[in-house]
């Protein structure tokens, strides 16, 4: 990875893209420290020290601490993720959107536009919930203009982050939204290291517990790299054909079916869905509904940690299959093979090929989905049961490692496109 980054830096175009990405992430971190107006930050900090505030720690983690400090980027990119999930599901359910998705680049741009509109709507709803609900006592200006200003600033902050992510994707390196989440999580690492060190020095945890916890984190990193890099190579043979005096085809290649085509997207989607009910409690804080949700549907509840973990496991399985089916269509791939004279040895072209690809894809996707769900869930349970309260574990570790791998792969792909031989090993 270090070698790839060093060699990419030597290429002027890639260096420009990398610098642009770093500049955009710097702007994100800068905005994450600009406070929203008319808010008493001390009251919000006190709220996070109570049980009700702990429910919102995941929002704070994904926003890089902006949520707890209630800055202009307090909502983060969660409204965008929610909007993306909904429109991807609607693409399958609504025929008109399905036709748009199949129209190529023009159709995808139209769906992306709808997703932006949805992001603003969800950001507005969440901003209203925070301003008039959970954090209403923290308002220093209770006039209509004061409330409207706070809601407008929070909504505009999310819209700006969405634009920032799209700029990174278009002009930088990697997926912009994923890198913004990545940057937010990474900023919590120094604080977590300090927390663990303090716990060890004060006797809060034993040396054995600390070693086991670090070993688990290393195992999670190894597991993520393993399932991200694992693939099943299906051999493909192209038939020979004579055109004039020249012979074409006859070469052998393979179809690389990745064990985890969906990457860390299912984890992000699952986390967003599971935060829906806690988000609703922002409208009715300290109510019976809020207490019920906290106890049974968040990791802070005695029963909730197990329900949350089970739902997280199931949702990751479902989203892994869903996202894999979007990325790889066995029928379409089979037709393309047949059109160009390719076939899988021992499998007839056409429907038998698509059925074979579907069978193999389902098997390896199941392995990848279960592994991904376990890697996301087990550290969460260990984290809550061991007494080591860290923000950087489980889901966040998955996202960080996954985004880092995907970004390096995109850099390698950019280098290959430019035909710089000798850089990749």
Tens of each residue's pLDDT in the chain, 425 residues: 677 778 878 888 888 999 999 999 999 999 998 999 998 888 887 776 654 444 566 677 767 778 888 899 998 888 998 888 888 878 877 888 888 877 777 888 888 899 999 999 999 988 998 888 778 888 888 899 999 999 999 999 999 999 999 999 999 988 898 899 888 888 877 877 787 788 778 877 778 877 887 887 788 788 778 887 888 888 888 776 666 666 555 677 888 888 888 877 788 788 778 877 877 776 676 778 878 887 888 777 778 888 888 998 999 999 899 888 878 888 888 888 888 778 888 888 888 888 999 999 999 999 989 988 888 887 777 766 655 555 555 667 777 887 888 888 888 887 777 654 444 44
Residues 94 and 238 in one domain: no
Determine the pLDDT at residue 145: 92
- Domain identity same for 288 and 258: yes
Strand order of the β-sheet with 342-343 is 252-258, 231-238, 342-343
Domain termination residue (choose one: 169, 187, 205):
187
Long-range contacts of 49-57 (CB under 8 A, 24+ apart): 51/294, 51/300, 52/285, 52/286, 52/290, 52/294, 54/300, 55/278, 55/281, 55/293, 55/294, 55/298, 55/300, 56/134, 56/278, 57/391
- Considering the domain architecture, whether residues 114 and 88 belong to the same structural domain is answered as yes
Residue 411 lies inside a defined structural domain of this protein: no
Same domain, 147 and 201: no
Indicate whether 158 and 233 sit together in one domain: no
Return d(Cα 337, Cα 234) in angstroms, integer: 13
Rounded Cα distance, 44 and 139, in Å: 10
Q: Tell me which residue has tokens 């992430």.
A: 25
Give per-residue pLDDT as tens, 90-132: 887 788 888 887 777 788 888 889 999 999 999 998 899 888 8
Is residue 412 situated within a structural domain? no
Q: Residues 356, 247: one domain?
A: yes
Residue 152 resides in a domain: yes
Domain assignment present for residue 167? The answer is: yes
Whether 250 and 164 map to the same domain: the answer is no
**How many domains are contained in the chain?**
2
Q: Same structural domain for residues 209 and 178?
A: no
Give per-residue pLDDT as tens, 206-229: 788 778 878 877 887 887 788 878
Structural domain includes residue 415: no
Q: What is the CATH number of the domain that holds 22?
A: 1.10.3370.10
Same domain as 167, residue 21: yes
Question: Residue 108: inside a domain, yes or no?
Answer: yes
Neighbours of 140 (CB within 10 A): 11
Structure tokens at 295: 């106890």
Answer yes or no: do 219 and 131 share one domain. Answer: no
The answer as to whether 62 is a domain residue is yes
User: How many Å apart are CA 305 and CA 385, to the nearest integer?
Assistant: 10
| End-of-domain residue from the set 155, 187, 219 | 187
Statement to judge: residues 160 and 231 lie in one domain? no
Q: Could you tell me if residue 405 is inside a domain?
A: no
Q: Could you tell me if 140 and 5 lie in one domain?
A: yes
Domain end among 187, 219, 250: 187
Domain carrying residue 79: 1-187
């Amino acid at each position: 990875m270090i070698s790839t980054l060093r060699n990419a830096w030597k290429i002027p175009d890639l260096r420009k893209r990398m610098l642009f990405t770093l500049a955009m992430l710097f702007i994100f971190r800068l905005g994450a420290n600009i406070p929203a107006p008319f808010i008493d930050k001390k009251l919000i900090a006190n709220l996070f020290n109570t049980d009700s505030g702990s429910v919102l720690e995941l929002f704070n983690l994904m926003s890089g601490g902006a949520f707890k400090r209630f800055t202009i980027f307090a909502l983060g990119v969660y409204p965008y993720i929610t909007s993306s999930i909904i429109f991807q599901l609607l693409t399958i359910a609504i025929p008109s959107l399905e036709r748009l998705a199949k129209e190529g680049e023009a159709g995808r741009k139209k769906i992306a536009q709808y997703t932006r509109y949805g992001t603003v709507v969800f950001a507005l709803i969440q901003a209203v919930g925070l301003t008039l609900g959970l954090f209403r006592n923290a308002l220093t200006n209770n006039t209509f203009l004061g409330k409207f200003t706070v809601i407008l600033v929070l909504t505009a902050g999310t819209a700006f982050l969405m634009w920032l992510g799209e700029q990174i994707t278009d002009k930088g390196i990697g997926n912009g939204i994923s890198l913004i989440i990545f940057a937010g999580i990474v900023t919590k690492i120094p604080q977590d290291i300090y927390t663990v060190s303090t716990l060890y020095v004060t006797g809060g945890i034993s040396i054995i517990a600390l070693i086991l916890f670090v070993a688990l984190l290393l195992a999670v990193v190894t597991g993520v790299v393993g399932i991200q890099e694992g693939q099943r190579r299906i051999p493909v043979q192209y038939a020979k054909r004579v055109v004039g005096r020249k012979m074409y085809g006859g070469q052998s290649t393979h179809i690389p079916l990745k064990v985890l085509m969906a990457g860390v997207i299912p984890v992000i989607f699952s986390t967003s869905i599971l935060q829906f009910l806690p988000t609703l409690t922002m409208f009715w804080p300290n109510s019976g509904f809020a207490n019920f949700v906290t106890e049974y549907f968040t990791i802070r509840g005695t029963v909730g940690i197990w329900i949350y973990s089970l739902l997280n496991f199931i949702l990751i399985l479902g989203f892994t299959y869903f996202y894999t089916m979007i990325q790889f269509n066995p029928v379409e791939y089979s037709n393309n093979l047949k059109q160009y004279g390719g076939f899988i040895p021992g499998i007839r072209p056409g429907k038998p090929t698509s059925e074979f690809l579907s069978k193999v894809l389902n098997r390896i996707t199941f392995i990848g989905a279960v592994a991904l769900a376990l890697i996301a869930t087990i550290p969460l349970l260990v984290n809550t049961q061991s007494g080591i309260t860290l923000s950087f574990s489980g889901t966040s570790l998955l996202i960080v490692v996954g985004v880092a791998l995907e970004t390096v792969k995109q850099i390698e792909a950019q280098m290959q496109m430019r035909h710089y031989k000798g850089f990749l090993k």
